[in-house]
Amino acid sequence: MTTQELIDQIKRKKSFLAIGLDVDLNKIPPHLLGTEDPIFEFNKAIIDATHHLCVAYKPNTAFYEAYGIKGWKALEKTIQYLNDKYPEIFTIADAKRGDIGNTSTMYAKAFFEDLAFDSVTVAPYMGKDSVEPFLAFKDKHTILLALTSNQGAFDFQTKTIEGKDVYKQVLETSKTWENSENLMYVVGATKAEYLTDIRRIVPESFLLVPGVGAQGGSLQEVCKYGLTANVGLLINSSRGIIYASTSTDFAEAAAEKAKVLQQEMEAILMAQ
Ligand SMILES: O=c1ccn([C@@H]2O[C@H](COP(=O)(O)O)[C@@H](O)[C@H]2O)c(=O)[nH]1
């Protein structure tokens, strides 16, 4: 999917919500546990109930890898279902990969060719040659971790090396790489006060922003400093939406939570 197609979808739906599909078998409604593939059944119901309210889904691969072959199969079925039934939706494999070049090539093939995701999250700390294999896929998007939502972000990302914060070096250096127009960046909603500086370096780039809801980040604060003329934001919420109910009404309850966020987004876009 091109960036323009993503922007068009955002404008059409008046939403820049990315719903996180972080499926934990201990948290899903018990009646699904008797089905053949509870993870997929859960995702399918959530997707069918919420697809009109969001523009992206972000399965975090850890939640699938944890269940071995069955988890990976459920991930494969989920992305196939999305690509077949809702091809306008932007898909994000939150896998946080990155390794020496030939290994990164295999990661890129796994997520872009085999699973056919539109994008994958990548850790930048092994440098240019570890990210290039992802960027070589010209019709796909590489989402680089810039300033993450967790407390540990302050351990390295905000440290100053040679006079510049490390997260700023990630943004500035990555902009010089070939096909950098296909880069997006992860910035935590809990770090909204850094967005003015971030927008000075990447004024147009899309930012994937997790941390609204369960982690305490504010949608309003993020939009105040991070919104661009083309929106430029994908706001992620996972637990706050998908675990709204643990009963048979779980999909409707998730849609209600998603609707609240979508309406807040619509109001922000109208006021722009
Ligand atoms: O900086 C980051 C990068 C990734 N994440 C991931 O986003 C979701 C957030 O889930 P919530 O339940 O809405 O808190 C999850 O998959 C994280 O691994 C992040 O939170 N922060």
Q: Please tell me if the CB atom of residue 94 comes closer than 6 angstroms to any atom of ligand 1.
A: yes
Residue 210 C-alpha to ligand 1 middle, in angstroms?
5
Please give the structure tokens belonging to residue 133.
Answer: 């294999």
Q: CA–CA separation, 54 vs 57, rounded Å?
A: 8
Asked if 242 and 46 touch (Cβ cutoff 8 Å), the reply is yes
Contact predicate 164/137, CB 8 Å: no
**What ipTM was predicted for this assembly?**
0.99
Alpha-carbon gap, residue 254 to 137, rounded angstroms: 34
Output the CA 146–ligand 1 centroid distance in Å.
Answer: 13
Index of the ligand 1 atom closest to the CA of residue 237: 13
60 pocket-lining for ligand 1 (C-beta < 6 Å): yes
Instruction: Take atom 3 of ligand 1 and give the residue whose Cα is closest.
Output: 148
**Is residue 22 in contact with ligand 1, taking CB distance under 6 Å?**
yes
Q: Is the CB of 43 under 6 A from ligand 1?
A: no
pLDDT the model gives residue 214: 83
Output the pLDDT for position 33: 96
Q: What tokens were used for 213? A: 């809801």
List domains and CATH numbers for the chain: 3-244 (3.20.20.70)
CA angle 151, 140, 197 (to 5 degrees): 40
pLDDT at residue 14 in the model: 98
Pairing of strands 160-161, 164-165: antiparallel
Q: Which of 21, 22, 43 to mutate to test the pocket of ligand 1 (most atoms within 8 A of CB)?
A: 22
pLDDT at position 92 is 99
Question: What pLDDT sits at residue 250?
Answer: 98
Reduced to 3 states, what is the DSSP secondary structure of residue 51? coil
Between CA 203 and CA 188 the distance in angstroms is: 17
211 Cα to the center of ligand 1, angstroms: 6
Q: Please write the tens of the pLDDT for every residue from 114-150.
A: 999 999 999 999 999 999 999 999 999 999 999 999 9
- For 205-239, what is each residue's pLDDT tens digit? 999 999 998 899 999 999 999 999 999 999 999 99
Question: Is the distance from the beta carbon of residue 236 to the nearest atom of ligand 1 less than 6 Å?
Answer: yes
Closest C-alpha to ligand 1, atom 1: 148
Is the beta carbon of 142 within 6 A of some atom in ligand 1? no
| Nearest protein CA to atom 19 of ligand 1, as residue | 210
Taking 70 as the pLDDT cut, the residues of the chain under it are: none
**266 residue type, one letter:** E
Atom of ligand 1 nearest to the CA of 148: 1
96 in catalytic set: yes
3 lines ligand 1 (CB under 6 A): no
Which atom of ligand 1 sits closest to the CA of residue 213?
13
CA of 149 to the centre of ligand 1 (A): 7
